[in-house]
Structure formats: C-alpha cells, structure tokens
A and B are shown apart, each in its own frame.
Chain A
Amino acid sequence: MSTGAKKRILREYAECQNDPLPGVKINFDEQNMTKWEILMDGPDQSVYAGGHYKLEINFPNEYPFKPPVVSFKTKIYHPNVSNDDKGSMCLGLLRPEEWKPPNKVISVLHLIRNLLIEPNPDDAIELSIANDYKTNRAEFDKTAKDWVKRYAK
C-alpha cells in the first residue's frame, strides 16, 4: 500500500473523528490501519434499535481506487447483509464498478447506517429476507428484532 493511500486513510480517520456519526465508534489501529473495526449501534428508529453491531472495514491495497470491503461480524437479519459467516455487504458505492476515489469511508458509514434504518430489498444479497421485508413486513420486523436479542446484545 502506497504511502499516499496510508495518508489518505489517516486523514479519513481524522475526518470521521471530527464528525462522528451517532452511535458509531471506530477502533483504529495505527499498526494495521487498513482494517477498521466499527462498533455501530442499531439506529433508534430502526428495527435494530438496541443492537450493537461489530463491523469490519478492510481497505484494499489499491485503495482509494478500489472500494473498501465491509463485513458484519455480528449476525444481522438484513436483506443487504449476507447471512453467513462473512456478513458481507456489497451494494451501492461499495460495488467495485460503482466505486470512485472521491468516495470516503464516512460515506460508507453513512450508507451502512442508512441501510439499517431503511434496507434496500431491491439490491439484496439475501433474497428471502428481502422478500420477507417487502411482502411480510410484520414478520420481517419480528425476526429482525428477535435476532437483535439473540445476537446483537
């Protein structure tokens, strides 16, 4: 990873610290700055309220020319987060073909947080959860809250 990229990551971390998102904490390790650990609270207005989610943001060597990789370490019932041990999330600006260098981690964090508030079932990884969300919202809410209790406390 180039020094330019490292510099940029440092800058971005500083920016995130200066302008913190509500309920978002970043564990930053200067020794390994390409891997951020994020602690995100389920937004109050969402079904994930009360949940505490651990995420990882990994910066590829090509950053900022390639998007960072986001993964949920805490299990979450969400159409846009893969329901496996990876907990991967790949949509919107995180898509390799959508990513552009001026995008910033803080926009990524915004994206994640907004997706918790409002999932995007049309760009889902988990089709059945998306279907649940679209056609049986009550059931979706119930399961999601159940998972919050079970996995995200």
Chain B
Amino acid sequence: MSQPATESQPPPAQPSGHRDMMFCHECHDEWYRDEHGLTCPECGSDFTEIIEEGNDPRDQHMLDHDHDMDDDSSLPDLEAISPAMRPLFAAMHANQSPHQHDHTHDDPEEPDISSLQFRQVGPGRFSVTGTVFRTVSPPGGGGPPQAARAPNAGSGPFGGLTAILTNLIHGGIAGPQNPTQPAQGSQDHQPGQGGQMDEGAGSQPQAGVPGGAPQVHRFTYTAGARLAPRDPNNPGPRLEPVDELNNVLVGLMAAFGEPPDHHHHEHFHGPPPPINPLIQLFAQMLPGSGQFGDAVYSQEALDRIITQLMEQNASSNAPGPASQKDIDSLPRRKVGVEDLGSEGHAECSICMDEVNVGEEVAELPCHHWFHHACIAAWLGEHDTCPHCRKGITKKNDAPANENSRNQAGSGEGAQASTSIPSMPGAFVTGEGSSENPYVISGSPPAHPHNEDGSGNNGSTTRTDAAGAEDSSAGGGIGERLRRGLFGPPR
C-alpha cells in the first residue's frame, strides 16, 4: 500500500526523516528551514511559521473559510474565548488533548504504531489491540526532540492495518455474523510535554494542539465474526454479510481519529474531521468504493475485482479468438467422396447440415473441416478446433496448449482448460463415448491424427481422463473463484 505523499516530509536527513518546513503567512511561500532559515526567502517577511503535523498553517488558511460558513454547528472554539482564558485552555489541551486525534497526525507518515494485535478471543470473537505513539513537536520550537520519536517508526499505520485487514479478510471471509460493535475504544493519553502554543496561530483551532511527545493512545476493538466456512448446503444467492467489514474498519479507524459520534464532541471546537487525511482516505474507501490498491473492504469492491480477474482470465480459461486473418486464410476445398462417412453422407458438425460432394468447406490445420461460415463464427471466439481443440494460428507446431496460451496472452488458466478435454463425468457421455460416438460423418474419416475427433471414442478419451482428474478438481481458477464466491453456477 502506498502512503499518500505529503509535502512536509521530504527525504530523511535525520533518522526520523524530518525536515522543518517553513510557511510564510505573507506570501504563502514554503521552504525548508535548513536551507533558508526562519525568514521568508521570497518576501523577507518574519511572519513565518514552521509547518508541523498538527500545526499546518496552510490548512488553517483553507479552514478559515469552511469554518466560518458552518460556524453555527460548531462548538465554541478558541476564537470565542477571551484572551485571558486562553492559557487555561491551552493547559487543558496539554493535559487532556481530547481532540488531538484528529489533528496530531495530519501527516499520515507521522503516527507511529508500535503494536497492533489481532487475535481471536473466543469462538466468533476477535479483538484488536493497538498501542499508538503519536509524536507532536512544539510549534515554534525546533524540530521535535529525537527522544520523542516513537521507537518504531518503520511501520506506518497502513502496515499495521494491512496486516489486520489481511487477517480479517482471510480469517473472516465468511463474514461476521453478528453485528459488529464498532469502537469500544478506550484511549489513554499521556500528556505531552512542552505544550507551547503559538499565539500567532492560537486563534485557529488547530493550534490548540499541544506539542511534545510521545503520546500513547491505546484502543481495543471487539467484534463478532463467524470464522467458519460458508455453508455449501445453501448455495443460493445468499451472500455472507462481508459488508460488516465496514463496521470493523470504522471501529478501527475510530481509534486513529475522532469517532464520528464519540464523546470527544462535547469538547470545544470541532472543525469537521476531514482535516485528517487518514480519515479522509478511509472515509473515501469505506462506503463508496471500498477499495484501496489491492485491498478491498466491501462486497462490491470484491465483486468488482473478481469480475475484473475473471474478465482478464476469461480468454485464458477458454482459448482466445483466432485472428480474422488466419480465419480468412483457412484453405478451402471441395468435399470429396472420401469425406463421406460410412453411411455415405457427411455433415458440418456445427450447423449439422448435410454436405454434399463438391460443396466447398474450410479445412483447419488439423484437417477437420466445416462450413467456412460456421467455423469462422466459432474461431472468432475460440482458437480451437471444435473437434480436437487444436488452434489454427500459425507457428503452432507446438501443442495446442502452447498455442492457445499465446492466443490467450495471459496464460495461467489456458493450460488448465485446454488440457482438460472433458471433465470427469463428461467423458462418459461426452462427444466420444463408445455408447454414442457423436463424431459421425461430419468429421473427416481416418486421418492420421490421433487426436482426431473421429478417433476420439471411449478408449482414447480415457487417456485424457487422467489429465482431467487433477485439473478438474480445480477447473480453472476463474471457475473456482466464481463458484467459491458466488455460489454455484446458474
């Protein structure tokens, strides 16, 4: 999973990977502090600020507008508080920092998860416990103290989440049966040190964030999930409510940011949560697309990916089409007496129309012949001989497998499908059973090819049966996926 790129985190000069970014309130210019110092190199203004996570003056510029517009819905913020009260609030922030979740990690690279545990606590129950270290540096100061950095900076939130999701999806693909109980979160805050407030930005909501670190958030999440395979007895359209994963995620995400309806609302100032890109990100993918990169969080997204996979795979499951050029250039010939079957007549095995001597037919490289129109319609979808499954594409001295693989272009399933002339069960009564050899006069008699349809009676199909056995259990990945996920075929 890729982390959203942020401008404030250029290549690491320090082990923590942090360089101070400066912002000029006059001209809105941005620069690195270690390159140009504290004064704006553009306009020379001193009215500059260090951009920190949790204190991004650029956000405030934008927020100013949003905030003013729906102010009536927001709780009293620092602007409404008399200047004399501010230090008090600042102290409260420092000690309680109830709203820091949504502000302290504007930069999703910053929050460091030291541990996330996913374990099953009983049948159908699992819990996720995580310890999150948040680092906030005092605004106006230098860079954050090295010691304040979380010990485990390597694994970002996404790493941990990915692990959780993988577990959830693998373990709980059957879908949670019980409604999940999102976010039974308990959070412990260690007050940050050095909770300095930058008065210049103090009137802005975000600036209330205390500095210092580390702050430790702990949360637990409990939810029910039926970790059992789907009941194959009921193959109907009933789909397991995998959608409940959404709830699981909401619960998990609540621990990273402010839960939508959590107790934090009673605290002052609530600029709408979307400041947090992490939340934004998940909010985007939760209800709507439910997809992020290769991970999916909803049934629809899963369906979409499976469909996509199957579409990609379809051509390999059944061999791809032959090129129009190859179809057009199939040699034509007249039906001769020798083409007639033992009963003295022959037919095109596609339309089952009888063909007479002298009629023109198209002959495939494998010497099976059909009406050109008939075989063209088939080859336009599958480059296989309807009788023996050999392709018509040139350069195919290689076996039909190779050929169809080339045709398919994507490969994997091609071998499976082309190497299974018939499923078990099919060969008994398939095209070549001894009881009912379907290949009648329509197929050229007595051709040297041993894969020839006319030779394809019960005994030769047996030889295929062995090959069919192992692959039939699979039946092609697309088919297995489809049956596994969508129930039995229609």
Residues of A within 8 A of B (CB): 4, 7-8, 11-12, 64-65, 69, 80, 82-86, 88, 90-98, 100-104, 106-108, 110-111, 113-115, 118, 120, 122-123, 125-128
- With the chains together, A22 CA to B126 CA distance in Å? 57
What are 7 A-B interface contacts by the 8 Å CB criterion? Answer: A12-B352, A93-B422, A98-B422, A101-B386, A102-B431, A102-B442, A126-B488
CB distance from A48 to the nearest CB of B (A): 16
Are A111 and B489 neighbours in the complex by a CB distance under 8 Å?
Answer: no
Which residues of A have CB within 8 Å of B381? 65
- Which among A98, A114, A125 is the interface contact of B429 at CB below 8 angstroms? A114
Beta-carbon nearest neighbor of A102 in chain B = B349
- With the chains together, A84 CA to B235 CA distance in Å? 7
- Which among B236, B351, B417, B430 is the interface contact of A84 at CB below 8 angstroms? B236
Which residues of A have CB within 8 Å of B233? 83, 126, 128
Are A102 and B439 neighbours in the complex by a CB distance under 8 Å?
Answer: yes
- Residue B143 is within 8 A (CB to CB) of chain A in the complex: no
CB distance from A76 to the nearest CB of B (A): 14
**A-B contact sample (11 more), CB < 8 A, given A82-B488, A84-B234, A92-B430:** A64-B350, A91-B425, A93-B426, A96-B318, A98-B426, A100-B431, A101-B386, A104-B438, A106-B438, A111-B425, A113-B429
- With the chains together, A128 CA to B234 CA distance in Å? 10
Are B435 and A122 neighbours in the complex by a CB distance under 8 Å?
Answer: no
Are A98 and B431 neighbours in the complex by a CB distance under 8 Å?
Answer: no
Are B438 and A122 neighbours in the complex by a CB distance under 8 Å?
Answer: no
- With the chains together, A7 CA to B371 CA distance in Å? 15
Beta-carbon nearest neighbor of A104 in chain B = B438
Which residues of B have CB within 8 Å of A93? 422-423, 426, 430-431
Are B425 and A88 neighbours in the complex by a CB distance under 8 Å?
Answer: no
Which residues of B have CB within 8 Å of A127? 232
CB distance from B274 to the nearest CB of A (A): 45
- With the chains together, A127 CA to B231 CA distance in Å? 9
CB distance from B465 to the nearest CB of A (A): 12
Are A123 and B423 neighbours in the complex by a CB distance under 8 Å?
Answer: yes
CB distance from B382 to the nearest CB of A (A): 8
- With the chains together, A118 CA to B469 CA distance in Å? 16
Beta-carbon nearest neighbor of A109 in chain B = B429
Most B-side CB within 10 Å, residue of A65, A88, A98, A118: A98
- With the chains together, A97 CA to B474 CA distance in Å? 13
Chain B 406-418 near chain A by CB (<8 Å), digits 1 or 0: 0000000000010
- With the chains together, A98 CA to B350 CA distance in Å? 15
Beta-carbon nearest neighbor of B354 in chain A = A11
- With the chains together, A65 CA to B349 CA distance in Å? 12
Beta-carbon nearest neighbor of B384 in chain A = A100
Are A98 and B352 neighbours in the complex by a CB distance under 8 Å?
Answer: no
- Residue B436 is within 8 A (CB to CB) of chain A in the complex: yes
Q: Given A7-B351, A101-B378, A120–B425 Cβ distance below 8 Å?
A: yes
- Residue B479 is within 8 A (CB to CB) of chain A in the complex: yes
Which residues of B have CB within 8 Å of A84? 234-236, 488
Are A86 and B425 neighbours in the complex by a CB distance under 8 Å?
Answer: no
CB distance from B364 to the nearest CB of A (A): 13
Which residues of B have CB within 8 Å of A96? 318
- Residue B149 is within 8 A (CB to CB) of chain A in the complex: no
- Residue B101 is within 8 A (CB to CB) of chain A in the complex: no
Which residues of B have CB within 8 Å of A118? 428
- With the chains together, A116 CA to B264 CA distance in Å? 65
Are B436 and A106 neighbours in the complex by a CB distance under 8 Å?
Answer: yes
- Residue B43 is within 8 A (CB to CB) of chain A in the complex: no
Most A-side CB within 10 Å, residue of B384, B389, B490: B490
Most A-side CB within 10 Å, residue of B377, B384, B387: B377
